[in-house]
Structure 1
Amino acid sequence: MQDIISGFLRFQQEVFPERKELFKTLASGQTPKALFISCSDSRMVPELVTQREPGELFVIRNAGNIVPSFGPEPGGVSATVEYAVSALQVSDIVICGHSDCGAMKAVATCACLDHMPAVKHWLHYADAARMINESRNHPTEPERIDGMVRENVIAQLNNLRTHPSVAVALAQGRVTLHGWVYDIESGSIDALDAASGKFVPLAQHPATKV
């Protein structure tokens, strides 16, 4: 904890003074252009990976980068999606999975989660992805897990479309969806290509979208 406090003190004493005008502007409002939905995993930092400044990304992070389909009792993720689309008018939404995802590894390997009932319940929102992934042949366990990560991104994009605010924005052509998978070791991103239904290297296909 002391390292975290020391980091804040460095921010307050060194970083903040150099960026004072930026924070002064941000103090009165925000105008992020994108909603970025990623995993809570400590190795995945959206602002670092995308090199965005404070105020440029509206971020949701949770176990498994999950977006529950819209229902009669919407939770925090639903409320945040709705606010981003309806109030902040973001133009892009990214759902970003990542390599070695603990949540998707648990789903892909049918790990017992009885000792973590909240996690077990939460990961049921990946059931569609799990069933699709299980229907396919995976020669190795790492390939099964990687397949799960990718199928989960697709499943969560489908869940995202059930949200009324997103459905309206898509119908009006004012929001674009993106499905990404970030590889921790290489720093690369594969993006879901709508035309082929495949994930392709984002560096080689920067215009790729869902």
Structure 2
Amino acid sequence: VVLSSGTAYLDNVSVPCGVRTISWKPDIGFVLNGLPTKILGTANHQDFAAVGVAVPDHLQVHRLRKLKEFGSNGFRTAHNPHNEALLHAADQEGVLVWAENHRNGQDDEMEVMIKRDRNHPSIVIWSICNENLCHSDNIVEDAKRLKALAHRLDPAMGRPVSANYNDFNGNQTPMDVLLVSARGISAGRFLRMCQSTEELEENKSTPCKRMVMCHSHGVR
């Protein structure tokens, strides 16, 4: 992409791109290039040992390759947008990214993140917030507005919008996909998060929404 004014050359940027298809289905889960694919990932803050948040670009590649060595294929940017070097590395390494906004209700930050990062094929889901950062003056309405903003800015890539906030779960969720933080919850409560009362009585194995488990320790 070249920026010019009249005959004057001002700047240019090269934007690598990739081709892939994704979809999220309640019955079979996440589908990548036509194949059902389990996302086995980790939530990662932007800092790194000895360098803090000033992470050199080559360490982003190193981090992803180490995660892949123990079977990870997913990377959650906890709990804010990470730098572009991480996303370029994820594109090249075939890692699926859950791209997270910092706080519910921050339209400007969500817009900046999506406009900067929407050309990265590694991103497969947008998240508007995490846990307490989802609190706002009007939680549900703010979440609906950010979801609509994401769909308007990124209409063609098939990416759903969600948030790691258990109060959004259930049939009335404002999100496209349920992100369940299952810390010590019972199987019954977990099931109620994704099913209506009628579905529980009729068929205990039919989910009503697409779901991603974002914290799985302590499920009983």
TM-score scaled by length of structure 2:
0.29
**Structure (1 or 2) with the greater strand fraction:** 2
Query: Per chain length, whose mean CA-contact separation is higher, i.e. which structure has more relative contact order (CA < 8 Å, sep 6+)?
Result: 1
**Structure (1 or 2) with the greater helix fraction:** 1
